[in-house]
Structure 1
């Protein structure tokens, strides 16, 4: 009896110790992340990843509690190489890693096919992708980090006709989901504003010689040329445009609004316009504070997409906090009705499709080899 009591007493003590230890242990919560981390678009993936890392590190330092335990957040990263086929493979790998949510992908062309994998697995996804098709699929799991191209394209088309006085506009796109989607929206907006699309040309996101396309466009004497695509193409395109003696300004989207474009375009970069979903860092709700924290952590300035990725991570973390759970089925409703002040905006919230309710678009121009803000447009979606 005495031995039995001691053994039971020992078991009781052990159980108490184990129970106490389990309460003290952190709840391990993994986020999946995918973007181009190698190749010509790797700089986009890196600046996005850094924003996520900063948010996760801050959440861990803050001691965010989920399910009564201090959460230990981590990031499982995969390189989708900006390739839709690889993106689907990567998506399944992340699902198999038992992640609690997805922060990515970057490109619209990779995000859209991957989103089907995440939806089938019931995983909430907050992506950088700006193509309107991403959130038009009817998936309750899809959310954005930035303004969609439907909203951005409308602003750019209006800017072309009303501010640049471009009544005749030529349009080129790279046939990617991003490039074509944005170009289509600009096409509609130019016509709605009273302008005319005098020619539509197509290229690819691997091309570097645009002489034939630009020669065809030159014959239509456009007032402006819009390009939907990446900086890897818009840079050499601007150089060739100048070489051919075309005076019409080149206007493009946020993928052109980069230091890479300026490097590739060289002396020809000046006079180029680019739209960017969002507002300049210095005009963001917590832009200056965010920049200081980022500089301290990474010893360099944040990229264009960095603060939006940062807010995307905090949006998901905040939803988990509100639900007191990392179970996707439990925190997904909280993500859908999210309302918070972030680094990029004082009013972060989603509509029924997962698009941001606040529409913000900024137009930039290259002057003296540097991007300078021309104007910012902020409104609320209907």
Structure 2
């Protein structure tokens, strides 16, 4: 065989080998903060995805194909999220789970849309749905749903007279803070101050000293646990007696560590915590997670992302296809799919509907007590 024929044969065999691998496997991406300040959340998402995938592979795979998980660490940063999106698309994934933050999710959205790659995220910013990308599905619930619930609790249940609303500058936190302020005012509540902090500042005494002079009876914080725990601790150090209410992203074990003794009495508003989810699927998969990793999920966010993955796999099986448009069309009509976090129903714009929130009070031992729903 001459050189040209030999190289041609080698090239053909490489194509055939590649086709065989592609025929036997399918790739799902995870875009999450595996490192950085939200690492425990990102790692929880990655671990839960791999748990679900391993189960499916042991059952024979997805339409007979073994699933390979490709993980990209976006550190919850928009720039790195955009890089992750390109890497995962180039890796050949047909769907991506993530990211954890709305900002990182949004930074990757357009790339996935243009590449016809499905994306499901726990990001709660209402902006994530505005472009109406057929590739995007929210596996949690939007800020607007949480803000109405929060305002109802603060204005009508607790009857707070002077409320401070704080956020950081991220799209998620700002959006939730603004929506909550608007919901409070719609109910006739009084927001005495709407402020913003720079995430990662560590020392918030200047802002808190300003707030102390306003004599609020409630401080609501819509940002992440990494700052929320410090805010709560420093509030106590300054002797500010106001109740502290944290939005959903304060619900993390590290909030307790950062707040220290001041964590007691803190109120958090979020979906039902994993340990009290009453569904059959919750008991099964949360038990599997704990058996596999010798720990509980860091928060509800790993669990809702697992539901996003399970919904996509269900769509593949129902359409008997990896055609992402066909899967998307099916998911837009999905109703009451039995999720770990409860029935999963998507609206025709990819929004998950049927939000349910709970109010938790942190006890002295760090446990949660349900005080409202």
TM-score w.r.t. the length of structure 2 is 0.90
Give yes or no for contact 1:364–1:371 (8 Å, CA) kept in 2: no
Could you say if the C-alpha distance between residues 252 and 25 of structure 1 is closer, same or farther in structure 2, counting changes exceeding 3 Å?
Answer: closer
Give yes or no for contact 2:269–2:357 (8 Å, CA) kept in 1: yes
4+ runs deviating over 6 angstroms: none
CA distance in 2, matches of 1:280, 1:52: 16
Deviations 1:216-241 (A, max 9, x none): 11111111001121111111111110
1:284 counterpart SS class: coil
Q: 2:124 maps to what in 1? A: 130
1:99 counterpart SS class: coil
Whether 2:223 is the aligned partner of 1:229: answer: yes
Which of 160, 169, 179 is equivalent to 2:173? 179
Q: 2:368 maps to what in 1? A: 372
Give yes or no for contact 1:123–1:141 (8 Å, CA) kept in 2: yes
Could you say if the C-alpha distance between residues 242 and 65 of structure 1 is closer, same or farther in structure 2, counting changes exceeding 3 Å?
Answer: closer
Whether 2:114 is the aligned partner of 1:117: answer: no
- 1:330 to partner: Cα distance: 2.6
CA distance in 2, matches of 1:233, 1:331: 39
Unpaired stretches in structure 2, ≥5 consecutive residues: 1-15
- 1:281 to partner: Cα distance: 3.1
- 1:65 to partner: Cα distance: 4.5
CA distance in 2, matches of 1:195, 1:35: 37
2:355 counterpart SS class: strand
- 1:253 to partner: Cα distance: 1.2
Q: 2:295 maps to what in 1? A: 300
Q: 2:276 maps to what in 1? A: 282
2:232 counterpart SS class: helix
CA distance in 2, matches of 1:65, 1:156: 40
Deviations 1:345-368 (A, max 9, x none): 1x2110122111211112111111
- 1:280 to partner: Cα distance: 4.5
Matched positions, count? 353
Give the root-mean-square deviation of aligned CA atoms: 1.9
Unpaired stretches in structure 1, ≥5 consecutive residues: 1-17, 378-382
Give yes or no for contact 2:125–2:172 (8 Å, CA) kept in 1: yes
Whether 2:332 is the aligned partner of 1:336: answer: yes
CA distance in 1, matches of 2:310, 2:224: 28
TM-score w.r.t. the length of structure 1 is 0.88
Counterparts of 1:9-20 in structure 2 under 5 Å?
A: none
CA distance in 2, matches of 1:355, 1:198: 33
Deviations 1:46-85 (A, max 9, x none): 111111111111111122442xxx1211211001011111
CA distance in 2, matches of 1:279, 1:235: 18
Q: 2:41 maps to what in 1? A: 44
Which of 229, 239, 247 is equivalent to 2:233? 239
Structure with greater Cα Rg: 1
